[in-house]
Homo-oligomer: A and B are copies of this chain.
Amino acid sequence: MTETEYARGLEGVIAAESEICQIDGAAGKLYYRGYSIEDLAQHSSFEETTYLLLYEKLPSEPELKDFTQRMRQSRDLSPVILNMIRDFPPAGSPMELLQSVISYLSSSVEHRIRHSADCNCRRTLHQVAQMSTVIATYQRFKEDKDYVESRPDLSQGANFLYQLRGEEPPAEEGRILDTCLLLHAEHGFNASTFTARVVASTYSTCYCSISAAIGALAGFLHGGANERVMNTVDEIGTKENIESWLDKALDEHRKVMGMGHRVYKAKDPRATVMEGMLEELSQKKGDRRLYEFLKHLEGSFRARMEQKGKPIYPNVDFFSGAVYTMLGIPRYLFTPLFAAARSSGWLAHILEQRKDNRIFRPKALFAGPTPRPYVPIEKRPSS
């Protein structure tokens, strides 16, 4: 590129090396530190996966026990944070609240930023563990219910449902939500993860870096796709309307939410896991309507696209909104839950950034006015 050419949005530009996440878009494979997402979904938990992301290896039994204990002890909210949630304006977005709470929380942790690359990041883990508590509590206060203290015997996923509902969820529901968190824990570079690394590159605290990343995920060009899949389901209404809705949508060149992926050219492996969990949940709850609706929509859409020679597959968002809906989670909490899950990936990227840091400071190409004299206000043209 010449000195005045550049890639808008830094598209295609390498910003850093990373060892955390490998995406094989052509084969439809995703690995966290070398372990396939299918293996992790089947055998691991959100807590163990967080350990893997942060410590670069699977934990031994005592390591996992200690780590899990630390995370679970960090789940509960202080009275000040409870007030922030209680007083939050009803018209506000829970993402704004989450962003605000995480930087506020930074003040109650001892940071050793200047002295080590680790900087205490992995010690208390409020910045990961409290996220889902904030979300559950936001919802409870919205419903005029009380704060529910966390249960240290429950996994991160099961505990979220417990704090949301005020009663212990059936075991399979807790496991399914925990797996949802695991599936969303990491996905390489994107605007929010990049934001976390840019902020961390100044040696700001990991809390403040994660807070900034939440701000990026809140933008509707980034988060919110699974919410929009569910809006599409509403818009279509009944299974009988799918064909005519698709006719119109394709005529109008509208995007079908949850279909296709910038990176995956084969099926998003997370979508396969998510679909299995949706089917399981539908079976347990004896209500297969949403599952069958989505399978019908997927089938019709893919058949049409294949006819056009454009094979296209569902991504993780296509099924996740339905899973959350069947677990009783309102739509506006989907992106906050995504943030709660991704917090562990963000933290892994922050730690990696610090290991071999260089402050992010790209250039701007100046394209503005040339120097001009200041004009006193009385001599300016009226608008």
Counting CB contacts under 8 A, is A277 at the interface? no
Contact B191 A17 (CB under 8 A): no
Contact B375 A15 (CB under 8 A): no
Interface positions of A from 26 to 66, Cβ below 8 Å from B: 29, 31, 33-36, 39-40, 43-44, 48, 58-64
Counting CB contacts under 8 A, is A343 at the interface? no
Counting CB contacts under 8 A, is A146 at the interface? no
Contact A219 B190 (CB under 8 A): no
Residue of B nearest to A220 (CB): B203
Report Cα–Cα, A39/B215, bound state, in Å: 36
Instruction: State how many angstroms separate the Cβ of A120 from the closest Cβ of chain B.
Output: 13
Known A62-B382, A211-B103, A367-B17: A359·B204 in contact at CB below 8 Å:
no
Residue of B nearest to A89 (CB): B107
Contact A15 B107 (CB under 8 A): no
Q: Count residues of A near B (Cβ-Cβ below 8 Å).
A: 114
Most chain B Cβ neighbours within 10 Å, of A29, A61, A108, A198: A198
Contact B199 A380 (CB under 8 A): no
Counting CB contacts under 8 A, is A14 at the interface? yes
Instruction: State how many angstroms separate the Cβ of A227 from the closest Cβ of chain B.
Output: 14
Known A198-B194, A377-B64: A368·B221 in contact at CB below 8 Å:
no
Counting CB contacts under 8 A, is A114 at the interface? yes
Counting CB contacts under 8 A, is A222 at the interface? yes
Contact A191 B11 (CB under 8 A): no
Contact B360 A194 (CB under 8 A): yes
Report Cα–Cα, A211/B113, bound state, in Å: 20
Q: Which of B14, B63, B215, B362 makes the CB contact (< 8 A) with A15?
A: B362
